[in-house]
Amino acid sequence: MAVTQVVRSEWTKIRSVASTVWTLSLAVVVTIALGMLISALSKAEFDSLGERERLSFDPTFISFAGMSLGQLAMIVFGVLVVSNEYSTGMIRASLAAVPQRGTFLFSKLAVATALALVVAMATSFAAFFLGQVMLGEHKASIGDPGVLRAVIGGGLYMTLIALFSMGVAAMLRSPMLSLGILMPFFFLISNILGNVDATKKVGQFLPDQAGSKIMQVVTPVDDETPYGPWGGLGIMALWVIAALIGGYVLLKRRDAQ
Amino acid sequence: MIEAVGLTKRYGDKTAVYNLSFQVRPGAVTGFLGPNGSGKSTTMRMILGLDNPSAGRVTIGGYPYRKLPNAPRQVGALLDAKAVHGGRSARNHLLSLAQLSGIPARRVDEVLGVVGLHDVARRRSKGFSLGMGQRLGIAAALLGDPQVLLFDEPVNGLDPEGILWVRNLMKSLAAEGRTVFVSSHLMSEMALTADHLIVIGRGQLMADMSVKDFISANSADFARVRTPDTEPQQREKLSAAITEAGGHVLPEQDGALRVTGLPLPRISDIAHDGDVRLWELSPHQASLEEAYMRMTQGAVDYRSTIDQKEGLQQQLPPGAQPPMPVPGQGQPGWYAPPPPQQGGQPFAPPQSPPGQAPAGPYGASGVPGAAPGAPAANPYAQPAPQAPQTPAPAAPPAAAPPAAAPSAPAADLTKPEDAR
């Protein structure tokens, strides 16, 4: 079983369902539009900000504000790519055709991740440039130190979120269960844990909290985060690897239901 | 060649398949029968490496499926026709499966033509009917031109034309020397399609034999004899005479007698000698369905009961008769005549002892299609138990009831439409 055959087949699968187009375009639109909106609002409010806030003002990070919602569409994309196989029963045909389950899973993930990476990078750059347009005189330039790293990091962040969702979906199999856990987690729970002082020490090691560090250019005043931008992305990558290993081991051992 | 050895599958403390050993040989259609929940699908999934056996093993051509080199080119399977992403077109679904095994895209169009779906190839499979979905599943199984084919309930939801097509497809695949393994609930289908049967019940092997052997081993033919209803003493007299002559008599509910162990002409002679008039003397041949039901009676997990409609009973209009229960509804033991027991004489043994009427008392011996010259009667297509069945010209029952005359055309109608 040549890997290229499986990859080609997975590409046919992913391009031939409507959910791919819907979830990815939603991720693009929401991330960019919300980023532009918040950038515009921030510009209007800049004059009323206090000294501390002005020191922490991070135009790059603000233009990525839409990612908090846009990542949810990425999660849906990641979950559906994997769990579609289970909810439709297609997994039986797929695994009957590719008895090497590792090849099957990782080819699928490779195709979906490559697609997600392309879309996420484009989204990240678009969100940055359009957000800076809205910020007017407070804008950052792509040539400023750390900005290019943040913009590329934004694309990587969205890709890793999608990949993490794929791993979780491979473990849980059901799209409802996977979305029911991932959506509230990334939309609410992680934010709460990361912002409440009592839980901040733990919360900052959650995948999205750690990973989003890469999009910061200006470190906020009295920030005590014990890792840097790449360290944060590394922590997120560890989460992703753990989810993928879990998905692989379970797929390998479980009966294909 | 599929070979299972001691195959066992447990889900928690429930054993779905226990110690199953069988072989599915190439060049024949092998039917896989069993009541609902008896482990057919689980077995098929284990053959395809989707489920891991708890014990034992199953191999295809000597390899376990997951070790089989280029498996999709060697094995094609239809497991669940609805296991398709509804938003994907039929062509893309097959294309993704074809690309997995390096099958060129034009083969996809080929099989779409073979199953008759080329007109809807680019439509989303969400809108497909059950029969169209089934055809799509069969197309997927045929894709790699495999030597081993597994079909789980292939005729579900197909129209008569589709059923005929599947039947001929199976036979032609087997005739090309391929291994064809088909599960079905439709006994009539199996009687027409399969050469060999593997029957399981509660996950255990109950039979592994040819269709012919299966029917003759699990059911005996019998004769229905009816004496004038107005003279019960004639019935007594005939019963005694038949028993004396070595036959077995079982009274039926409507007053008729079920006789085993004697050929029809002999029953007629006995009646004639005893001066008993007959209103009916008809041959009954066991069908595959009866034989199957008899065998699996004890292994059925889901059995219907009579619907009492407690609390829903409506007042019958005055003068109306309460409906009679349909035979078989919640009445165990109506299935088939008892199989030949030790001590009991099998009725119409296929190999009649010399000196007896040629080709058995009913013309065709107990096995359909066994008598040369006699058209292979469909053992299941018998519409009513009263209809005389055997159209064989040899030794027509001497005292046959009036229905004997139209028996030949009637049998022609029941003849299967398989034109092969």
Ordered by start, the domain boundaries in chain B are 2-216, 221-285+346-412
With 90 as the cut, is the pLDDT of residue B410 above it? no
Q: Strand, coil or helix: what is B62?
A: coil
Whole-number average pLDDT of chain B: 77
With 50 as the cut, is the pLDDT of residue B247 above it? yes
Tokens at B78, concatenated: 């239809």
Q: What is the DSSP letter of A146?
A: T
Say whether B45 and A256 touch across the interface (CB within 8 A).
yes
For A253, which residue in chain B has the nearest alpha carbon?
A: B52
Chain B positions touching chain A (beta carbons under 8 Å)? 45, 48-52, 65-68, 70-72, 75, 77, 79-80, 82-89, 92-93, 95-102, 140
A174 or B254, greater pLDDT: A174
pLDDT classification of B401: cutoffs 50, 70, 90: very low
Say whether A95 and B82 touch across the interface (CB within 8 A).
no
Contacts of B107 in chain A (CB under 8 A): none
Say whether A88 and B84 touch across the interface (CB within 8 A).
yes
With 50 as the cut, is the pLDDT of residue A164 above it? yes
Say whether B48 and A96 touch across the interface (CB within 8 A).
yes
**pLDDT digit string, tens, across residues B354-380:** 444 444 344 434 444 333 444 444 444
Picking from B70, B82, B96, B123 by the largest number of A CB atoms within 10 A of its own CB, the best residue to mutate is B96
**pLDDT digit string, tens, across residues B191-228:** 889 999 998 888 889 889 898 888 777 766 788 898 88
Contact B17, B39 (CB under 8 A): yes
pLDDT classification of A170: cutoffs 50, 70, 90: very high
Say whether A9 and B49 touch across the interface (CB within 8 A).
no
Spatial separation of the C-alpha atoms in residues A244 and A238, rounded to whole Å: 10
Contact B288, B214 (CB under 8 A): yes
pLDDT classification of A1: cutoffs 50, 70, 90: low
Say whether A12 and B92 touch across the interface (CB within 8 A).
yes
Tally A–B CB contacts below 8 A. Answer: 94
B70 or A240, greater pLDDT: A240
**What percent of chain A is predicted at pLDDT more than 70?**
99
Residue B417: per-residue pLDDT? 42
Residue B142: per-residue pLDDT? 93
pLDDT classification of A77: cutoffs 50, 70, 90: very high
User: β-strand B55-60 against B248-251: which pairing, if any?
Assistant: unpaired
With 70 as the cut, is the pLDDT of residue B345 above it? no
Domain definitions of chain A by residue range: 3-253
**What percent of chain B is predicted at pLDDT more than 90?**
27
Spatial separation of the C-alpha atoms in residues A157 and A211, rounded to whole Å: 6
The beta-carbon neighbor of B71 closest among A16, A94, A99 is A99
With 80 as the cut, is the pLDDT of residue A9 above it? yes
pLDDT classification of A105: cutoffs 50, 70, 90: very high
CA distance A93 to chain B (A): 8
Spatial neighbors of A248 by CB under 8 A, at least 6 apart, are: A101, A102, A105, A106, A170
The beta-carbon neighbor of B66 closest among A94, A99, A255 is A99
The beta-carbon neighbor of B102 closest among A5, A17, A19 is A5
For B10, which residue in chain A has the nearest alpha carbon?
A: A255
- State the DSSP string of B265-316: HHHHHHHHHTT---SEEEEE---HHHHHHHHHGGG-SS-------TTTPPPP
pLDDT classification of B126: cutoffs 50, 70, 90: confident
B107 or B70, greater pLDDT: B107
With 80 as the cut, is the pLDDT of residue B282 above it? yes
Residue B221: per-residue pLDDT? 75
Spatial separation of the C-alpha atoms in residues B265 and B286, rounded to whole Å: 19
Chain A positions touching chain B (beta carbons under 8 Å)? 1-2, 5-6, 8-10, 12-13, 16-19, 84, 88-100, 255-256
With 80 as the cut, is the pLDDT of residue A116 above it? yes
B362: left (phi over 0), alpha (psi -120 to 50) or beta: alpha
Spatial separation of the C-alpha atoms in residues A82 and A97, rounded to whole Å: 17
Residue B54: per-residue pLDDT? 92
For A107, which residue in chain B has the nearest alpha carbon?
A: B100
Spatial separation of the C-alpha atoms in residues B222 and B48, rounded to whole Å: 43
For B89, which residue in chain A has the nearest alpha carbon?
A: A16
With 50 as the cut, is the pLDDT of residue B350 above it? no
**pLDDT digit string, tens, across residues B227-246:** 888 888 888 888 999 999 88
With 50 as the cut, is the pLDDT of residue B18 above it? yes
**pLDDT digit string, tens, across residues A119-156:** 999 999 999 999 999 988 888 888 888 899 999 999 99
Q: What amino acid occupies position A71? A: Q
**What percent of chain B is predicted at pLDDT more than 70?**
75
- DSSP helix, strand, coil percent of chain A (3-state; round to 5): 80, 0, 20
pLDDT classification of B158: cutoffs 50, 70, 90: confident
Residue B347: per-residue pLDDT? 43
Contact B91, B40 (CB under 8 A): no
Q: Which of A179-193, B330-344, B345-359 has the highest mean pLDDT?
A: A179-193
Closest alpha carbon to B16 in B36, B38, B33: B38
With 50 as the cut, is the pLDDT of residue B186 above it? yes
For domain B2-216, the CATH superfamily is P-loop containing nucleotide triphosphate hydrolases (3.40.50.300)
B271: left (phi over 0), alpha (psi -120 to 50) or beta: alpha
B66 or B3, greater pLDDT: B3
Residue B364: per-residue pLDDT? 39
Contacts of A1 in chain B (CB under 8 A): 70, 100-101
The ipTM (two decimal places) reads: 0.83
Residue B359: per-residue pLDDT? 41
Maximum pairwise Cα distance, chain A? 64
Span A35-43, average pLDDT: 91
Contact A128, A60 (CB under 8 A): yes
With 90 as the cut, is the pLDDT of residue B413 above it? no
The beta-carbon neighbor of B50 closest among A10, A92, A100 is A92
Residue A231: per-residue pLDDT? 93
Span B44-72, average pLDDT: 90
Q: Hey, CA dihedral for B84, B52, B303, B166, is it positive or negative?
A: positive
Spatial separation of the C-alpha atoms in residues A77 and A30, rounded to whole Å: 14
